[in-house]
Amino acid sequence: MAEKLWQGRFEQRTDKLVEEYTASIQFDFRLYRYDIQGSIAHCRMLAECGIISHDEASRIVQTLGEILRDMERGQIALDSSQEDIHMAVENELLARIGDVGGKLHTARSRNDQIALDMRLYMRDVLRRTLDLVHETQSTLVEIAEKHIGVIMPGFTHLQHAQPILFSHHLMAYYEMFRRDCARFRDCLTRTDVMPLGSAALAGTTFPTDMEWTARELGFSTVVANSMDAVSDRDYLIEFCSASAILMMHVSRMAEELILWSSPEFDFIEISDAFCTGSSIMPQKKNPDVPELMRGKTGRVYGNLIALLTLTKGLPLAYNRDMQEDKQPVFDTVDTVLSTLRLLCKMLPEITINRQRMAAMAGHNFTLATDLADYLVTRGVPFRKAHHVVGQVVHYCIRNGKELSDCSLDEFRNFHKAFDEDVFPYLDISNVIDRRRSIGGTATSRVKEAIARARADLESCKRESTQNLK
């Protein structure tokens, strides 16, 4: 059983059950690179400020590098007696170089150390998330451009509403993911704050230079309040909130892919590589991947609620409850990143049934609004035109017709404003391209949206490259 670094105050050893109950090493091990990175920066700052000697700092930094290498090779055994990754690294450091290693923890607490590690970790996670969301957007734009001429029925209430371009439908998801990017970028701004030096809660008596450490670690700014620094979990909640909204968007798309791949819709076919079969029904091809994307959205929602519930009643500053922040965050990270990676691979391999989509685009009176719009151009008030076309639809239902099957005489039975020029209003291509309002489904507007999206993504790519530098 490892000696506790805080054992001096205590007469009894920690009960084994307590060690197991309170340990976080089994899940916060993933922070080891960030913990060592932060410790190296802290050590160099201590030397820069004359708090420890440069020789001592050099020895500590070298040994931390060796520990990092050995951890990456799996050569360091970890167990619950080490409590967490921070204690594990420090115990290993002390075991290798003795008392000089104990100088590393000067002017810091585990509280600000934990805060630093999580911010370093989340900063990387947010950048990876943004890259994957951008990749998802790029995939959507590629598919939209490739299938620019495909017409499909648009839906409201899951009922046929009006014809739209399939590309227009895809670009709606592009816009959802664009908002997701904005949220993750905002979260990155609030994550990119350096807390180390706040110590336990009140700051430190040593003449440290937090701004030096911030520059060394690439942070944009330093915390303004030491109590807030060690107890702030807003950025984690914000990440989980943005992730919940992102997963909601993914889930909506997954739901449509599931519906569209059914025989009743037959709009698309999902590649075999992203489906599974049945253990009893040989004919089955199940859309398990989008179903799981839809299902995993719930666990991300649950992680957000867990964090909000965890923090809602905590007094300032640090409380051990906050150890429970990591598993919901880590699970959200793993779920979001794996989902986006899979989505980017699955979407390009979907086969589009353009004939089926086009055939359904004009069914179930999707041209009714255009027929009403025609009457408005002939001087009929819209509310009257709406009523007239409703009567025409009722007539068609009774007689087993579509609007395009009606003759001019049949139309005129309902209103004398109908004339020969009504029929172009019932041509689906014309219907699509007349909708030239901003954000509309006209081919010209959709092409403009695709061009804007490409420009936006190129700008994001340049920004991402600059951030890496």
Residues 117-166: pLDDT tens digits? 999 999 999 999 999 999 999 999 999 999 999 999 999 999 999 999 99
- Is the Cβ–Cβ distance between 403 and 367 less than 8 Å? yes
From CA 392, how far away is CA 177, in angstroms rounded?
A: 40
H/E stretch holding 331: helix 326-346
Question: What pLDDT was estimated at residue 243?
Answer: 98
Its CATH architecture, for the domain 119-158+166-196+224-360, is Up-down Bundle (1.20)
Rounded distance, CA 356 to CA 364, Å? 14
Q: Which CATH number fits domain 7-106: 1.10.275.10, 1.10.287.3510, 2.40.30.10, 3.30.1280.10?
A: 1.10.275.10
Q: Has residue 52 got a pLDDT over 80?
A: yes
The confidence band for 220, taking pLDDT boundaries of 50, 70 and 90, is: very high
Residue ranges of the chain that CATH labels 1.10.275.10: 7-106
Domain with CATH 1.10.40.30 in the chain: 367-434
- Does residue 24 or residue 309 have the better pLDDT? 309
Task: In the chain, list all ranges with CATH 1.20.200.10.
Answer: 119-158+166-196+224-360
pTM: 0.93
Distance CA 335, CA 319 (A): 27
| pLDDT cut 70: percent of the chain above it | 96
Q: Count other Cβ atoms within 10 Å, centred on residue 304.
A: 22
Confidence tier at 8 by pLDDT (50, 70, 90) = low
* Mean pLDDT (whole number) for 5-15: 64
Task: Indicate the CATH number of 367-434 among 1.10.760.10, 3.30.1330.20, 1.10.10.10, 1.10.40.30.
Answer: 1.10.40.30
* The predicted structure's pLDDT at residue 346: 98
Per-residue confidence (pLDDT) for residue 375, from 0 to 100: 97
Asked if the model's pLDDT at residue 455 lies above 70, the reply is: yes
SS3 52: coil
Average pLDDT over residues 56-79: 95
pLDDT of 1 reads 46
Cα 209–211–217 angle (5° rounding)?
A: 110
Active site residues per annotation: 157, 278
**Predicted confidence (pLDDT) at residue 468 exceeds the cutoff of 80:** no
Sign of CA dihedral 201, 203, 204, 209: positive
pLDDT band at 22 (very low <50, low <70, confident <90, very high): confident
Q: What's the pLDDT score for residue 7?
A: 63
